Amino acid sequence: MSDLPEHISIWGELADVDHQLRHVHVDGVRTRVLQAGSGPDLVLLHGTGGHLEAYARDIAGLAADFRVTAYDMVGHGWSDLPDKPYTIDVLSAHLIGLMDALGIGSAHLSGESLGGWVVAWTAAHHPERVDRLVLNTPGNIANKPEVMARMRDSTMAAVRDPSDETVRRRVEFLFHHKEMVTDELVGLRRSVYSRPGFVQAITNTLVLQDPLVRKDFAWDPSWVGKVAAPTLLLWTEHDPTGGLDEAAMLLEWLPDARLHVIADAGHWPQWEKPDEYLRTHHDFLVLGKDPV
């Protein structure tokens, strides 16, 4: 019996997966992209202050069914950091531009947290580009001021002082099982946060936590109701950004949605519960059935 831990490193997760990591220019924005697998297209979007390694534990499993594309959104990770507000329409336009640059006509979209907001907006405004949709812990559907303040303050603290302590606290916020936060993951996030210009970049992202800016993009049935793509809401029992009452709101607003709740996980089920995350994606996107 092996005494190896379930997760060793990000590289360990990708070591036996044929993949390509490169930069693609999207309307002048140098964009970091990882692709693996073949089949129908599936594009993965990370959350606020994140990067494509958020999906390191899932790439191999997803690549068995899809041509998987994970990328660093504009102003995030190791993509370019143009100095302008990264509002939802800007992030959505960057996604559509990336799909154009990669020759992807339409795709399944799966977004976590901020990424879920972006893919939902994209599905509402560019329905012809979206096949099926997964909203993974999309967070704060009710636009609660206290959640916005917590997200803004914890993120800014980590970026202004990217020490091990402050960044570890920010990453631990994403996890129910905080012991799963590795030194490697914290070090990677510290490296991103230490990039020249990243303080301004995260300021440009966190405009979405300003109620005056957010109101133009806030979750609302007026645009959510335009999402025609079949949609899976992937929630967890311990998401610090929004409870099942908010999932119920989306179930009411979305024309074709179903809910699956992952137990014993926080804001990053794709990392804490990769087997269930992969199974739900396979069931919904490949088999076309609701996860159980």
Domains (ranges, CATH) in the chain? Answer: 10-143+218-286 (3.40.50.1820)
CB-CB contact of 77 with 47 (8 Å): no
Report DSSP state, residue 31: E
In which band, very low, low, confident or very high, does the pLDDT at 1 lie, cut at 50, 70 and 90? low
Does 204 score more than 90 pLDDT? yes
Q: Is 216 helix (H, G, I), strand (E, B) or coil?
A: coil
Q: What is the mean pLDDT of residues 198-207?
A: 96
Tell me the pLDDT tens digit for each residue of 101-116.
999 999 999 999 999 9
Terminal Cα distance for the chain, rounded: 31
- Lookup: tokens for 2: 């092996």
Place of tokens 């603290």: 157
Q: Is the pTM of this model over 0.95?
A: yes
pLDDT at residue 188, as a whole number? 97
Strands 130-136 vs 257-262: parallel, antiparallel or unpaired: unpaired
Q: What percent of the chain has pLDDT over 70?
A: 100
Give the Cα separation of 32 and 56 in Å (integer).
14
Tell me the pLDDT tens digit for each residue of 27-80.
999 999 999 999 999 999 999 999 999 999 999 999 999 999 999 999 999 999
In which band, very low, low, confident or very high, does the pLDDT at 291 lie, cut at 50, 70 and 90? confident
Give the Cα separation of 217 and 162 in Å (integer).
29
In which band, very low, low, confident or very high, does the pLDDT at 240 lie, cut at 50, 70 and 90? very high
pLDDT at residue 247, as a whole number? 95
